[in-house]
Chain A
């Protein structure tokens, strides 16, 4: 049993909350008291049906306004998998929330309203899915009950979306016709679609292969913390604690500590105090090196024969997440895993239209939810990888030096 993390992209109108409510309800992850609470709220409604969407609207502020203001995480399990849903609102003004939810997702469910087909927001959600490098996509064609379960409607959407996916380079795409409201094709195959021979949504989520998505080739180990007991019996103990973000480390490996470029050899690997011969991503471990060298938080230990880039002028694709504008010439802190460096924005090349992929070269300012291509300069050389090759060592956040708030998500190029 492993974990699948997925994001659901779509707006309330597409039936997104209903879909999530349906997954939780039909997989029996909703318990009686939670259902009672929902029923209590539903009583005030005219139709009297249980509103599954209420399961995902967490805060009173949201319930009052009937909107979702932030990313909510929901959990359910089947005997095959544990699932973590990042539920992010789909309106254009919430690009930042979708980017946030997408950053940890193995898979994106993109909801398409069967009546509307591939719409502007479908493209926007797909562009973000592609930017964030999500490897698997499910296009859930919802509200099939409202188009008489028409195969033609389904086929036309598949044709249209195939074109979108091709432009964006999205590869692993599964199309599933559903009705979230009625529960068709969610947990079990529905007999209303004799022409559809594929999996139900849940069966697909349970069985899709994701283990190969973990990069076990390019070993990266950002040091988080140095363990030094400094007691009498452990006088010489000096362990580098961190999580392997990709690759495999073995005892005896020749390694280099970057950005200093110091070579050494791994002489011991520990997991939770037990010595092991090798360790792999995403394990949290303690590495010991043969040489007594000065290593601290923010350094990265890599294999001698497989190096990251080490540069101080870096091109980034960035989603701006703050209400203050993003300003050329401003200084920010850039945090990549455990390393934090000061950085200055040298150039803003273009703004990306998230609905059309068009590059806009003339613009007044960069504001909340904008995605831009920029060049940044870091105060010291940064060991990193291109986000599209190795996202775990290429996704960094920008922090405002004065407000200390996270203001941008950078995909290093």
Chain B
């Protein structure tokens, strides 16, 4: 590389660190949404680069649906302890009980939509004015249109038609009381950028991102891990396969891919030659309707 020149990962990294520091400079009570998934692990890594040797000017927060992979939860707790930062966990289970929410029924009854209630309650409880998240614009069409600083009303709702113009690298985080800003520092990263960055920076990931044996149910071409959250019928085809995960969400709505990839190099090679997008391959929840994500965002989801 020539002198005084950054490559694309360094440029993306610098942009993300800049966004983190804008959050620190503009908000009173931000929080970093951290699930133990690869994108939020990258966020933590970037926050370390933005603020060390100082402490993070925000806690980590996880909205736990109760349907998470144990490997991701263990990783979440271990990382928070290792970097010595505060971790807040709020459980969808508790919201369901206290607010008498009705859970979906059916084979893959997902708590994805109910997460929003717990998130909004936690925002209110801690008076968070900003939540940092790991969403990327390449993930989905609705996300491609969302700002890096995305203002939500007091119901957490996104209004795509009334977004603030976002110019240069200047972010307007001014809000009225009760409003909240979602900030996405890795908006401009693609799935492959994230994986290449993880490789370059030697960032540790939960084991489920690498090939392992798992009992799975084959359902409409997708492989869903068997767990107590999924209702099995006698006609279901269940078998043990060698799989890894491309994304880590709820066990009820995240599918695995068949893979022998044991190392980052092997995972990256598989992603380069794959013919299906990240959400398309592994997210059952986006397939419900063409505008599934748009609808969830409008009602307060990330």
Listed in ascending order, the chain A residues whose CB lies under 8 Å from chain B are 1-3, 31-34, 37, 40-41, 58-61, 69-75, 77, 81-82, 84, 96-97, 99-100, 103-104, 211, 214, 216, 224-225, 227-229, 234, 237, 239, 241-243, 248, 272-273, 280, 282-284, 297, 321, 333, 335-338, 391-392, 395-397, 399, 404-406, 409
Contact = CB atoms under 8 A, between A and B. Distances in A.
Candidate in B21, B50, B57 with the most chain A CB atoms within 10 angstroms: B21
23 contacts: A31-B275, A58-B141, A58-B142, A59-B145, A70-B145, A71-B145, A72-B141, A81-B8, A224-B18, A224-B25, A228-B54, A229-B55, A237-B53, A237-B54, A239-B54, A241-B51, A272-B17, A273-B48, A297-B25, A337-B169, A397-B165, A399-B172, A406-B166
Interface in B166-189: 166-170, 172, 174-176, 187-188
A33 B4 CA distance: 40
Contacts of A392: 168
B51 A58 contact: no
Contact of A31 (B13, B161, B169, B280): B280
A82 B12 CA distance: 11
A58 B275 contact: no
B64 interface: no
Contacts of B232: none
B24 interface: yes
Interface string B50-91: 111111010000000000000000000000000000000000
Contacts of A242: 18, 21
A50 B51 CA distance: 48
Contact of B277 (A34, A96, A397): A34
Contacts of A104: 167-169
Interface string B133-165: 000011001101100000000000000110111
Candidate in A224, A282, A297 with the most chain B CB atoms within 10 angstroms: A224
A82 B8 contact: yes
Given A33-B281, A34-B280, A336-B170, 14 more contacts: A33-B277, A58-B294, A59-B291, A72-B144, A72-B145, A97-B165, A216-B4, A272-B52, A284-B49, A297-B25, A333-B174, A395-B167, A406-B165, A406-B166
Interface string B179-207: 00000000110101100000000000000
A208 to B, nearest CB: 15
A99 B2 CA distance: 32
Nearest to A2: B8
A59 B160 contact: yes
Contact of B6 (A37, A60, A282): A282
Nearest to A82: B8
B5 interface: yes
